[in-house]
Amino acid sequence: MTLRDLILDVFRTLWSHKLRAFLTMFGIAWGIVSIVLMVAAGEGLRKGQEEQARNLGKDVMIVFHGRTSLQAGGTHAGRMVHWEDPDVAVVQEESPDCEYAIPELEQDTVRIHSNYNNAAFTVTGSYPPFGYIRSLDVGQGRFYDWDDMREARRVAFLGSDAAKQLFPGRNPVGESIYLNDFPYTVIGVMAKKKQDSSYDGWDVNKVFLPFAAMRRDFPDKPPGTDSTFDQLLVTPKSVEQHEACKREVRVALARMHRYDPNDKEACPIWDTVQEAQAFKTMTDGMKFFLGAVGIVTLLLGGIGVMNVMLVAVRERTREIGVRKAIGAPAGTILRQFFIEALIIALLSGGIGLGVAFGFCALVNMLPMPDFFAGLVPSWSSGLTAAGLLGAIAVGAALYPARRAASIDPIEALRYEAGG
Cα 296 from chain centre: 25
Q: Which residues contact 315 (CB under 8 A, 6 or more apart)?
A: 20, 417
Sign of CA dihedral 63, 65, 69, 71: positive
Query: d(Cα 10, Cα 336) in Å, to the nearest integer?
Result: 7
Model confidence pTM above 0.85: no
Mean pLDDT of all residues belonging to the chain: 82
CA 214 to chain CA centroid, nearest Å: 36
The pLDDT tens digits of the residues spanning 233-286 come to: 999 998 888 899 999 999 999 999 989 889 989 999 988 877 777 766 776 777
The 10s digit of each residue's pLDDT in 392-413 is 777 777 776 676 667 666 666 6
CA distance 198 to 201: 6
Q: Mapped to the 3 state alphabet, what secondary structure does the chain carry?
A: CCHHHHHHHHHHHHHHCHHHHHHHHHHHHHHHHHHHHHHHHHHHHHHHHHHHHHHHCCCCEEEECCECCCCECCECCCCECCEEHHHHHHHHHCCCCEEEEEEEEEECCCCEECCCCEECCEEEEECCCHHHHCCCCEEEECCCCHHHHHCCCCEEEECHHHHHHHCCCCCCCCCEEEECCEEEEEEEEECCCCCCCCCCCCHHHEEEEEHHHHHHHCCCCCCCCCCEECEEEEEECCHHHHHHHHHHHHHHHHHHHCCCCCCCCCCCEEEHHHHHHHHHHHHHHHHHHHHHHHHHHHHHHHHHHHHHHHHHHHCCHHHHHHHHHCCCCHHHHHHHHHHHHHHHHHHHHHHHHHHHHHHHHHHHCCCCCCCCCCCCCCHHHHHHHHHHHHHHHHHHHHHHHHHHHHCCHHHHHHCCCCC
**Torsion sign (Cα): 209, 212, 217, 220:** positive
Residue 200 has pLDDT above 70, yes or no: yes
* Whether pLDDT at 72 is above 70: no
pLDDT confidence band for 378 (50 / 70 / 90): confident
* pLDDT value of position 161: 94
Would you say the C-alpha torsion 319, 321, 322, 327 has a positive or negative sign?
Answer: positive
- Residue 197 sits at φ, ψ, to 5 deg, of -155, 155
* Bridge partners of residue 286, in order along the sequence: none
Cα 269 from Cα 267, distance rounded (Å): 6
Q: Which pLDDT value is given to residue 206?
A: 95
Give 11-50 pLDDT, tens digit per residue.
565 555 566 667 667 777 887 888 888 888 877 877 776 6
- Work out the average pLDDT over 204-222: 94
